[in-house]
A and B are shown apart, each in its own frame.
Chain A
């Protein structure tokens, strides 16, 4: 059905896909497995026409194709069901299914009757007893997912890509979904199924492809490979490019988290009884797959989910209360957010103004901002952190990702933090900038600062952490010392909750 040859996709500084060869067969469900950042999503974006620039060739139904966009891929017969739903909440089920593909009468008016009866038909196929006039907003997430699938069925696509389709739906709905997938298989359609839930894959997939670092590592029949073999293929044998850093902790506890949880059903996020402590000069790595609750944990202790958080935070044995970011900052806890462009920086402002933003009261003299002091502080960090910029007056937008991340770090250093919360600190920055970031982290811990780093990169977690906390579905599933941690046992713990 679909073959690719030497698909390579480069992003500035990174090779996301490295000569990928796929062979997807009709009448089969092919599972694609790999840890975060292995290249699965990039590959799917190429197959569904989101990315149009790449090297290599795609053959669909034996014809060479190069999609010019998502509409082009759809016309050819490829449908994708995204992890994030692409539906309009204030339109009905019927209207959503037919969005962009409306049926019209001879007069050019919407043919509502035919669309509705076709929608009823599709819902029946999916075993959904729902009124097609219901608004999407009134459906449960699982039902919305089924509407998305109905949309793909309407296209009568020959290849259907499902990206983590069961991440938001109940066990009963999963059963239903699997029945539908089985029907698709019988109709000789091809299905690409991406999931972290290995048990599911044994239930539904015929064959598997393991991806790692943008390459296909292994493929074969699902029945021929064991659970453990799959995991070790995903992890690979650690080819550690990074120098292992070991330190001696003073043992003095800086902060302790006790039973940090988020209220049930809080915006679809979960966090259950997270407890651990951070010591002086210690780096804790938190690993988990997508949706494990890592970011939620950092946000919660930084005062961003005040209305839903429970549990205690103790510093030097005293309970502290954090209800908004400034409370955390004043306690010496600072956060480098996951998305630095969206949450970390005011991109339109100069470098110096971003650095001074949280510390403006420190550069005030008798109520006025002291421009000379501000420049001096900016220059200090530009030099100390090696920020590459033409000057402190440069607009932050014009800097590279790695240098922007250093600016987020710089703005917090002026506040003399005790605990640094880093959320994916090296995402999207090149290898050199990554290594610089690790060195900076080490310099900071040498001064006694404690670091809690969330990362999706196993290599990074293993290289910089003194202890590794593994989370899955909002819970801690393992805490490993750097001596006992291996890629295998980390991934096992990250997947085990399923």
Chain B
């Protein structure tokens, strides 16, 4: 009996988000004739794809009861590095050596840098016992600083033409970033539901002590999760760079907050152990639709922020009320 109610409640939670999304869409469609069009739908999807990349990594971290504030800066640094390598390669003057990068090489390098920064976060958090909030807050500043150093504070622009395909191209009727986000989402669902790592993530977030006594290597799992989040932030950075044909040194500022908002609206508990990738995708869509609709309605950007914040509050309050009834 209890199981059935529990499952029912879980579905009901997701259903609530879906209903909220539906109502949002209906309201916007009634108020603006530009909203409910295929072009605008694709536009929204492309806009949220970067947030989805980041928010998926954030979901994994929050499921372990952690947090990552550094993803926005990591996104900027990895975007800049991919851009710089693509454009200038690496020149080692004393040896008169020049290493050029192909598009694929530059992308891989960017992702490796992102994963390494996440790995570093993981080491600081597990080996030095620094709380995730503090460790990643420090990385937020450090990575931004390195971005400025690497780019001298200027945008790095104009790349080989094929590179733009990643951010602005189309494939089978959909924007390429949407395909990338979709692949990431599917992989993340497999990770959380079908393999050992995912189970360990839920167990650690649910009860770290019990997980440790079950013989799970807690530190390793956490380090892997932070590395994944770093790599996904890098993917986001590469998409943004390709889309704009330019790596902006201040790219990604505040993106961590959008990602956390998507995770929270999607019903993942900040105390860990409870939540889902699907919820996060739904959360990111709700934020995207809200942004898009408010812009179409010509609502002042200041009011947009007030509305977005209120939606986050509302979502968390509803979630709290649901879990209280359990």
Contacts and interface: CB of A to CB of B under 8 A. Distances in A.
Interface stretch (A196-204, A258-266, A345-353): A345-353
Interface stretch (B99-107, B131-139, B196-204, B245-253): B196-204
A221 interface: no
A398 B2 contact: yes
Nearest to A360: B196
Interface string A328-365: 01100001010000111111110001001110110010
B317 interface: no
B2 A345 contact: no
A369 B212 contact: no
B210 interface: yes
Contacts of B203: 346, 349, 353, 357
B162 interface: no
B130 to A, nearest CB: 19
Interface residues of B, number: 25
A368 to B, nearest CB: 5
Contact of B214 (A358, A361, A364, A393): A358
A418 to B, nearest CB: 15
Given A346-B206, A347-B207, A348-B273, A364 B196 contact: yes
B195 A325 contact: no
A330 B212 CA distance: 14
Nearest to A353: B199
Nearest to A390: B3
B3 A393 contact: yes
Contacts of B211: 346, 357
A251 interface: no
A189 interface: no
Nearest to A371: B194
A368 B194 contact: yes
Nearest to B199: A360
Contacts of A394: 2-3
B94 interface: no
B215 A329 contact: yes
Contacts of B216: 326, 357-358
A65 B143 CA distance: 64
Interface in B168-215: 194-196, 199-200, 202-203, 206-207, 209-215
A367 B206 contact: no
A349 B215 contact: no
Contacts of A390: 1-3
Contacts of B2: 390, 394-395, 398
B214 A325 contact: yes
Contacts of A391: 3
A28 B321 CA distance: 52
Contact of B210 (A343, A368, A393, A395): A343
Contacts of A345: 207, 210
Contacts, number: 82
A231 to B, nearest CB: 36
Nearest to A358: B214
Nearest to A343: B209
Contacts of A398: 2-3, 6
A347 B210 CA distance: 10
A411 interface: yes
B279 to A, nearest CB: 15
Interface in A306-339: 324-326, 329-330, 335, 337
B305 interface: no
A395 B273 contact: no
B141 interface: no
Contact of B196 (A329, A330, A361, A395): A361
B217 interface: yes
A325 B213 contact: yes
Greatest chain B CB density within 10 A among A325, A335, A337, A353 is at A325
A269 to B, nearest CB: 17
A361 B6 CA distance: 28
A330 B214 CA distance: 11
B129 to A, nearest CB: 14
A324 B219 CA distance: 12
Nearest to A346: B206
A412 B3 CA distance: 24
Contacts of A346: 202-203, 206-207, 210-211, 273
Contact of B209 (A342, A349, A364, A369): A342
Contacts of A411: 214
A347 B206 contact: yes
Contact of B217 (A326, A330, A364): A326
A324 B220 CA distance: 13
B87 interface: no
A408 B246 CA distance: 55
Interface in A374-406: 390-391, 393-395, 398
B6 A349 contact: no
Contacts of B196: 360-361, 364, 369
A348 B274 contact: yes
Nearest to B198: A369
Given A325-B215, A335-B213, A364-B196, 9 more contacts: A304-B213, A325-B212, A343-B210, A344-B210, A345-B207, A348-B207, A357-B199, A357-B216, A368-B195
19 contacts: A302-B213, A325-B215, A329-B215, A337-B213, A343-B209, A346-B207, A346-B210, A346-B273, A347-B206, A349-B273, A353-B199, A353-B202, A357-B210, A360-B200, A361-B196, A369-B199, A391-B3, A394-B2, A398-B6
The 4 A-B pairs at the shortest CB distance, nearest first, are namely A346-B206, A326-B215, A358-B214, A329-B215
